[in-house]
Structure 1
């Protein structure tokens, strides 16, 4: 049954928006009128209709975003309903009524319509690649093929929520140093641009040779005050150039290599990538996706080209008959402990369970490493800020000391 998006006026003259199931637009209008609503416009909202009109299956504005939290809730609720032996179409109908986000409500309605027409859930969600990731689609496909869709959906919800928790912890840990850095930069700009000129003006009027640090400070202050737009332009140009270089064919591998080699930060980044690799691969294998297909999917979500290349090479070697242990063992980015645990899992036939243990271990290490990193950043920032402020104060005090010596 087609899905129609409508805008209508209720009995009190208030505007209402929503979706309605009906065989045709005229039936949809009758449905709305019978409920006391007077339709202003009605249009078919199915993915098929939008494609016929030359549009996309979904087009979300800035204010109609579907959050990952909403997607996890949808997945968990659908798993619960299917686990209770409720058929797929009625389950989707129930979720439509429970969803408060209009954009997501429309997506679920389109999925329900597609399933109702005889398509699989995999095909239905594949029409919305901006909402459902490649991992999500492939796990659903494996769940439908094995007849354990509810279990796979439960795993998907667990996996997504676990990733969000880890991401939230990382974000929360890094917010404080970032805010502190912005405050320090702001204070220095105000200090050099507005406060220092008023203090050093006295020294300039004395018409005497000032110490070198004082002259440098006055020169920096005057330059920033008169030519701040040049500094802003150069910083913007540098940022854009760096971004273009990073996105280039040769720049991205070099940048990713540098990131992994940065002291402290590189180690934390490597552990984050390994935790994501293990967790994702484990979830895919548990859901019944083949090893090669799982590795292909995992390769696409690695945010580091160095490790993506290792995974790509491993896929080639696994196809040639080599084990995953051998394929990953030659890479400097996969530590011996990781490779050994994978080897044990392969030999015991419990690779997915061992990968899950590896993921848990690395996630714990990431949490402690991030705490340690932020604890290290804070004193470094304090010392750095103190050094800069101390240099400014010394530059101001040097002429005063010289004047005291002359008077003495």
Structure 2
């Protein structure tokens, strides 16, 4: 393919888990070519990582990279930002003001102040901003969204969403825990910011509903931990639906158990990330039935994101790659001076801002003994 999007990366050195995931996602459908990077917080590590990955151009820092790439005729068209949360805004701003498209890991930033400044930078730029809430890229999540929009379960009454993990059950000190449990780098929310935002975003994406208010009870069960590692959140949605969200990183026996259940007036839907190719549908009064990815009953929204026949598993990496491919469609359309196709869907700045308001509301509610807090419309 000669029309690949020239991609850069900030953060995600060769020893970083999420950087490798983004690189795999970007190349899975052959839509991007990684040509430049500022891959670490120190010049020495950045150069070593760039050399290990065989990048043509390696920079000591992201500002230097943004300036030099913007001047090149063959400079990057998009950049993936995969740093700890507190660096998202500063890095994104440098590329946005040079009209380089930004694909940013979630959550949007570490603070509401930075989120608002980033929103201003996005609005002032001609570049696209994509947030990698990757679970929205799963085919059966798209199918569930399509079914709800079509009224297949009637008006929604109840939304139950959860994301439990167990990897922070103890105070064990290792690299990923170091910054994710540091509020100066992760933000005020611990599990709420890291995985609660995924659950919140999934609920919004699948149902099309927005949270009007919430009441949150957050805990740091591990002694001395400065951010929450468990959260119970009651939700009230615009339109009258009610919900509950549970996020935890201290739930032994759970790895990445993201799960959503939606109940309407005429039926229910259930999807679990650890069994991602199956969507359970129960029309009221009828037997429970399963719809499989690319199988009988799966709709167009799921089919356009599926790569292989039914029965061959697709999951985390493919879901991530679908976000990159949707972003590629939008970038190529803008390159050609055209709007993207109507079915191109990816998380945006608005999704990021709503995620930040969710974290902020949870922290404020919990500080007030789980008082109800209203979220912005």
User: What's the TM-score once normalised by structure 1's chain length?
Assistant: 0.22
> Quick one: higher RCO (CA 8 Å, sep 6+), 1 or 2?
2
Q: Which of the pair is proportionally richer in helix?
A: 1
